[in-house]
Structure 1
């Protein structure tokens, strides 16, 4: 069922999207402010995937690059619409709707800002069900829709079309180089598809789920209940039905560098009492969690670092020494655990030698 989103929904939506972004996807505060600037007192129509007509043209919009850059290089706010219009001109057809490519703080917000600016509806689905660092790591690509042609735009009005046919990895490589030369980030329009292809390849209703998760955390705080119990309950009826608490402790070290268009590094956490330390490796998003040297969670399952008391999600660029945190493991949908999906965004896609195992199995 389709629904209307207003500015009052943005704090809950950005909180839930940041959680699903598993440390990546960009700063949720910046994203919500981009939408507020153009939305005002208006509303955005969010289309259920089942309500998108079969031949509708859906063009997802997003930001790509290193999330660390966004802290100092705030978008002008014009880039995503420019990318959309450039791709529409290249295709010779106007979009009927836009859509996120991933869940994440800013990348759940970019399509909303585009919708508020253009009047387009936003489809309640995405192509990752979380956040991943590379454009080729999409369920769209896994199940037969390719990202090319892609349009990428910068804040100075620069715009480039990249067309690599069905080679999504080459598209990612070229677009990453352009994003670096645009200052570390670029805004993109890609994976143009029909309504039928949305239903076949996308993770459905992730935007409404992010809103419900963010709302569950907030309402639990207001009612003096455990936000972690509320979060587990809210997840239990979704495609992400299993949540495990992996660790409770504090940040004792963060090694982070911006390189090759990504934020890469490791974070180390010490328990509040006696016990083993936890180490998380990340590339924009959290990839692995090792407790005392033993692997306890791995991509594509979600590894989420949140405030130990409030359950507020903490992005990889937001990790700081001394933060008290809980680390949560959340299962991904079955659509993201098939052999085809794991080949695209499982451990081996990140150069890891470990095999995938379900977080709920440990």
Structure 2
């Protein structure tokens, strides 16, 4: 099997940062996921990244991720054993060996959690994920659009509990797994969406891990060369700056296993005199400027520190931070009617239709 790249512990720095940029404010603290993955790689060896096309059609591919409110994840750190426990239990349920690991989503912690399992098992990690970004609910993956069932699924917590789910739909998987996650203390580790190599080739958003690594590298090089790090990220992603301002007010609460709320900004420099608002449910979902809706899910909205270019997650927002808001295009699968039904603004309760953002 051809290897795209071999990932060592030090490579996780770039991947975690890139994952947080793609994570649109969610996916958990990149620092937490990075530490977990680095520890696993140092203990078990580097991880081999492969293109999904390298997998045999009859291969068994399993994504892993962390579920719950990002605000809880930073206080209830996983040990890493929870993930491998979920993975091995799912393997037993499937009655055969798993052949490759996959990211459930691109996000701060969930771009790096699959490295834990890949390092501990020696299995290849597919260069891709199920979103190309982060979303708050389990059914919000491209896998759902390709008829992949989220179950059988195994959830594990830090206390040693594990739960196996078999559900009638991926929406029901989300409802039941969310309730279990709340009871488990607000976060859980899981293995789910088992699929064949043939299905993975159709369903996976490709190149995610390579993009994460390149984003982190681009940011690091821009700072080393004393270039503008935000401009470097904008150019690489084909993004558009939609605001530059300071956080004026944050309304954030943990409800039903999600971090929900909004943040308001006052403009600085060229944006002085303008206002900005971001709504989030773990991830940034809708941006308003001067009271008018500007961009919505499924387009990606992310926040970068104005000076360093470092991504800022929804749970890390605090008063006075000077941030640049970017919008950039989603994967084309999300712009289909099926994609909009899963992750469009109306699903999240906004009384508006999705309108593609003009990135020209």
After the TM superposition, which residues 97-116 of structure 1 pair with which residues of structure 2 at under 5 Å, given as runs? 97-116=100-119
After the TM superposition, which residues 42-81 of structure 1 pair with which residues of structure 2 at under 5 Å, given as runs? 42-81=45-84
Query: Residue 350 of structure 1 aligns to a residue in which SS?
Result: coil
**Counterpart-to-counterpart distance in 2, 1:40 and 1:250:** 39
Query: Residue 210 of structure 1 aligns to a residue in which SS?
Result: helix
Query: Counterpart in 2 of 1:183?
Result: 185
After the TM superposition, which residues 136-285 of structure 1 pair with which residues of structure 2 at under 5 Å, given as runs? 136-165=139-168, 167-235=169-237, 242-273=238-269, 274-285=272-283
Superposed structure 1 runs of 4+ greater than 4 Å apart? none
Query: Residue 359 of structure 1 aligns to a residue in which SS?
Result: coil
Contact 1:144 1:201 in 2 (8 A): no
Query: Residue 258 of structure 1 aligns to a residue in which SS?
Result: strand
Contact 1:331 1:360 in 2 (8 A): no
Alpha-carbon offset, residue 123 of structure 1 = 0.6
Contact 2:230 2:304 in 1 (8 A): no
**Cα offsets for 1:132-155 (capped at 9, x unmatched):** 000000100012212111110011
**Counterpart-to-counterpart distance in 2, 1:224 and 1:361:** 27
Contact 2:64 2:103 in 1 (8 A): yes
Unaligned runs of 5+ residues in structure 1 are 236-241
Q: With the length of structure 2 as denominator, give the TM-score of the two structures.
A: 0.96
**Counterpart-to-counterpart distance in 2, 1:182 and 1:93:** 28
Contact 2:239 2:359 in 1 (8 A): no
**Cα offsets for 1:314-337 (capped at 9, x unmatched):** 000000101010000011121221
Query: Counterpart in 2 of 1:358?
Result: 356
Q: With the length of structure 1 as denominator, give the TM-score of the two structures.
A: 0.96
Alpha-carbon offset, residue 218 of structure 1 = 0.9
Unaligned runs of 5+ residues in structure 2 are none
**Cα offsets for 1:77-132 (capped at 9, x unmatched):** 21111111111111111211111110001001111011111111111111011000
Alpha-carbon offset, residue 361 of structure 1 = 5.1
**Residue 32, structure 1, aligned to residue 28, structure 2:** no
Q: For residues 315 and 349 of structure 1, do their structure 2 counterparts lie closer, same or farther at Cα, with a shift above 3 Å needed?
A: same
Query: Counterpart in 2 of 1:88?
Result: 91
**Counterpart-to-counterpart distance in 2, 1:146 and 1:205:** 23
**Cα offsets for 1:195-251 (capped at 9, x unmatched):** 11111011001111111111111101100112223223322xxxxxx3110000101
